[in-house]
Amino acid sequence: MNPIIKLNKLNKSYKNEFIKTLALQDIDLEVYPGEFISIMGPSGCGKSTLMSVLGLLDNFDSGKYLLSGLEATDLSLDQRAKIRNKHIGFVFQSFNLIDSLTVADNIAMPLQYQGQKAKEIAQKVENVLAQVNLSSRSKHFPAQLSGGQQQRVAIARAIVTNPDILLVDEPTGNLDSKNGDQVMRLLVQLNKQGSTIIMVTHDTRYSQCASKQVQLIDGKIVMENNVKETEVMHEAS
């Protein structure tokens, strides 16, 4: 089986007027279909940078990045956008929903950029809303939802295009434990259904939900572990 993502000797640095910071050094990583990978590490170790590069939100200085067989070097902004739209779903810590759009419109957005017809979009939106148990909230605005609900909407938006991979950045960071558990259960469920997930988290409990743990320190991968499947926290009543 071929990996969905393959990083080979990937390097990324940030330069300002005074210093050059090596954010990622010689990263080698392979992600296979159906894997659930958690990335952990202390603050400033390069987790977010790695997610940005994986999500084609940022460039890298050297090395190779293959995504679903596509060479991701020297891509233009528009090319990246198209690849993201087709292959990648994003879930952010701060949800990043558009406040002026309803829940349904937020979820429909990536489908609109694919040029799909309104009827098809509506159907798909309805399906994913059911998947995340928010069918009754389709006409609400993000400001009218709780944090947990907003994050579930974000997850719905991320999976509506059926992407090859989900990039999940601290999904429970802004949530209480009850909502956090709910979100993690959803992610686990999605993974069981076949979604490939790469998740950044500080929370060791949630990192146990993953099938593989990757440890980053100072921009380098220092550890890769396969994790036994563990049970998620009990469902809240």
Interface residues toward other proteins, by CB under 8 A: 48, 52, 55, 57-58, 77-78, 81-82, 84-86, 90, 92, 94-100, 109-110, 113-114, 142-144, 150, 157, 161
Nearer to other proteins, 109 or 217 (CB): 109
Nearer to other proteins, 96 or 208 (CB): 96
Residue 79 DSSP code: H
Shortest distance, position 16 Cβ to other proteins, whole Å: 12
Shortest distance, position 149 Cβ to other proteins, whole Å: 12
d(CA 119, CA 77): 29
Nearer to other proteins, 105 or 181 (CB): 105
Shortest distance, position 131 Cβ to other proteins, whole Å: 18
Contact yes or no for 212/36 (Cβ under 8 A): yes
Nearer to other proteins, 169 or 188 (CB): 169
DSSP 113-171: HHT--HHHHHHHHHHHHHHTT-GGGTT--GGGS-HHHHHHHHHHHHHTT--SEEEEEST
Nearer to other proteins, 96 or 211 (CB): 96
Shortest distance, position 144 Cβ to other proteins, whole Å: 8
Shortest distance, position 49 Cβ to other proteins, whole Å: 9
Contact yes or no for 220/25 (Cβ under 8 A): yes
The residues, any chain, with a CB within 8 Å of residue 19's CB and separated by 6 or more, are none
What stretch of H or E contains 191?
A: helix 177-192
